[in-house]
Amino acid sequence: MPTLLDHQFRAHLRDGMRRELVTESEREVGRLAGTRDVAIAFADLVGYTRLGEQLPAEDLGSIAGRFADLAVASVKRPATLIKTIGDGAMFASPEVPPLLVTLQRLVESVAKEDQRFPEVRVGVAHGPATTRGGDWFGATVNVASRVTEIARPGRILATEAARDLAPDEPWHRRRRRANLKGVDGRLRIFSLDPPDGS
């Protein structure tokens, strides 16, 4: 029995290491296995950290729980909710339009909550990303996170690549290109009008 378990453990460990190592073919093509073009979005509650200094832990936890519920209820397939972390949610989709529907639903749902509930801001990017263990990694994920940081409450911002894949939406180009922390160059960023036009 010990020999059999040792063999199984070593096989499991070898397979896990193989999945994490960059192969020769991956180096040649310059792209990791599991990498594909995808739309990534983040939605963050504005002022959540500040609320933590004002509210008891259980109230803060109920806000985070309610936000997670709203995020789940907003999803339009093939978009998926990847994860929620306290005041934030991460989404991914092979197509931009269903992801935008998901995000618009989330913004609308958050706006309908009571006045104590924080507003949400959203950022979207499209490009290559790598999936590992149900999560997504890469420059596109980082860009989506940085775009979210510059969004105003109640707004959805997107990179030009994401905007180009949803041309029928009421986009407005921001006047200046954005200089995002940790992102080379300045990016064109577009704002999606809220459904009510406000």
* DSSP strands (E only) in the chain: 35-45, 80-85, 88-93, 120-132, 135-137, 156-159, 171-173, 178-179, 186-187, 189-192
Query: What pLDDT, on the 0 to 100 scale, is given for residue 17?
Result: 53
Above 60 in pLDDT, residue 63? yes
Q: How confident is the model at residue 33 (pLDDT cuts 50, 70, 90)?
A: low
pLDDT tens, 167-189?
999 999 987 777 677 677 778 99
Asked if residues 111 and 154 have their Cβ atoms less than 8 Å apart, the reply is: yes
Q: How confident is the model at residue 198 (pLDDT cuts 50, 70, 90)?
A: very low
What mean pLDDT is predicted for residues 133-155? 92
CATH 3.30.70.1230 fits 36-192, yes or no: yes
Query: What pLDDT, on the 0 to 100 scale, is given for residue 194?
Result: 63
Give one word for 86, left, alpha or beta, with left for phi > 0 and alpha for psi -120 to 50. left
Q: How confident is the model at residue 34 (pLDDT cuts 50, 70, 90)?
A: low
CA distance 61 to 156: 25
HSE value, Cβ hemisphere, 13 Å, CA-based, for 66: 18
CA distance 151 to 114: 22
Above 70 in pLDDT, residue 30? no
Q: Measuring CA to CA, how many Å separate 79 from each of 36, 59, 141?
A: 15, 30, 15
pLDDT tens, 65-91?
999 999 999 999 999 999 998 889 999
Of the two residues 138 and 52, the one the predictor is more confident about is: 138
Q: How confident is the model at residue 12 (pLDDT cuts 50, 70, 90)?
A: low
Q: What average pLDDT does the chain have?
A: 84
Query: What pLDDT, on the 0 to 100 scale, is given for residue 197?
Result: 46
Query: What pLDDT, on the 0 to 100 scale, is given for residue 4?
Result: 65
In one letter, which amino acid is 123? Answer: G
CA distance 21 to 18: 5
What mean pLDDT is predicted for residues 33-55? 84
Above 70 in pLDDT, residue 154? yes
Query: What pLDDT, on the 0 to 100 scale, is given for residue 18?
Result: 53
